[in-house]
Amino acid sequence: MLSCKEVTRLVSQGLDRRLGFGERLRLRLHLAICDGCANFRRQMLFLRKAMARLADFESPEDS
Amino acid sequence: MDDFRAQVESQRPYLLRYASLQIRDRHSAEDVVQEALLAALAGEAGFAGRSNLRTWLTGILKHKIVDAIRRSSRDAAVAADGDEFEALFDERGHWVDAPAAWADPDASLGQKQFFAALEDCLARLPAKTAQAFTLREHLGLDTGEICKELGVTATHCWVLLYRARMALRECLATNWFRK
């Protein structure tokens, strides 16, 4: 069983490389039973979405 | 012609703010903006027919930022671990204080203040960590390209990105979502 600490590293790496089959399986098993890590994963996906939109931060009246 | 020059010049404050997000040193950020503006003036023909000057200029600026980061990071060293987040976990690797769900995070994406908070959090990251993260998440480079830009191994690259995400999550939880 992966620890939460290991899960945070794998979730992060999963955003940067394709995880192996075993990694994905262990990750899924952990996320299914651990609310803290499931929240962490959702927050990582949100962070990605937010960063993609960072360029829109300027308000129209500045243009 | 001079009208075009004036329009381009009027975007300088915006472009400087944009560049400052990714290049910490004020003078370097100003240099990059200057390079981008000169390139824009030289390439006016490339703008013909496009509707949004700011978008076009930002595109040029992004390339100049990548070039500048590539130049400046050749000699900068990077520490290899990611263990500054050790304190978040107990000795078995379980959360000491498990992340709570953020209330309606997507609503934040419509708020200017949220992006100001995100910028503040980004500004607190160590320079190289912030660069790796913005190259990956904002400029959309893949890890292989980032390693090359920053002159680090793939493993270092993952550590930098891990650090950035962990630190930003903590920062946003505290300063925006107020866990």
pLDDT in tens, B99-143: 999 999 999 999 989 999 999 999 999 888 999 999 999 888 999
CATH of range B2-73; options 1.10.4100, 1.10.3470, 1.10.10, 1.10.1740? 1.10.1740
Domain membership of residue A32 (yes or no) is yes
Contacts of B172 (CB under 8 A, 6+ apart): A43, A47, B102, B117, B118, B121
pLDDT digits over B50-92, tens only? 668 898 999 899 988 888 877 766 544 444 445 678 889 998 9
Nearest to B54 among A44, A51, A63 (CB): A63
Reported ipTM: 0.89
Residue of A nearest to B161 (CA): A12
The answer as to whether A36 is a domain residue is: yes
Residue B45 has pLDDT above 60, yes or no: yes
pLDDT grade for A42, boundaries at 50, 70 and 90 = very high
What are the C-alpha distances in Å from B160 to residues B26, B37, B79, B136?
23, 31, 9, 11
Residue type for position A18: R
Nearest CA in chain B to A63: B11
Closest residue in A to B140 (Cα–Cα): A52
Does residue A60 lie in a domain region? no
The answer, for A4 touching chain B at a CB cutoff of 8 Å, is yes
The band of A41, judged by pLDDT with boundaries at 50, 70 and 90, is: very high
Cβ contact (<8 Å) for A50 and B82?
A: no
What average pLDDT does the segment B45-50 reach? 74
Q: How confident is the model at residue A59 (pLDDT cuts 50, 70, 90)?
A: very low
The CATH fold of domain B83-175: Arc Repressor Mutant, subunit A (1.10.10)
Kindly report whether the global pTM for this prediction surpasses the value 0.90.
no
The C-alpha atoms of residue B113 and residue B70 are separated, in whole angstroms, by 31
Residue A28 touches chain B, beta carbons under 8 Å: no
Distance (Å) from the alpha carbon of B90 to chain A's nearest alpha carbon: 9
Asked whether the beta carbons of residue B93 and residue A50 sit closer than 8 angstroms, the reply is no
Domain coverage including residue A35: 4-53
Compute the CA torsion angle B62, B65, B70, B75 (nearest 10 deg). -160
Token couple for A33: 């039973």
Interface check for A45 against chain B (CB to CB < 8 A): the answer is no
Closest CA to B149 of B81, B75, B66, B80: B66
With CA atoms as reference, the chain B residue closest to A17 would be B143
Residues of chain B with CATH 1.10.10.10: 83-175
| CB-CB neighbors (< 8 A) of B82 in chain A | 9
Of the candidates B101, B143, B172, the beta carbon closest to that of A16 is on B143
A58 found inside a domain? no
For B60, B85, B119, B143, B146, the CA distances from B70, given in Å and listed in that order, are 16, 28, 22, 14, 9
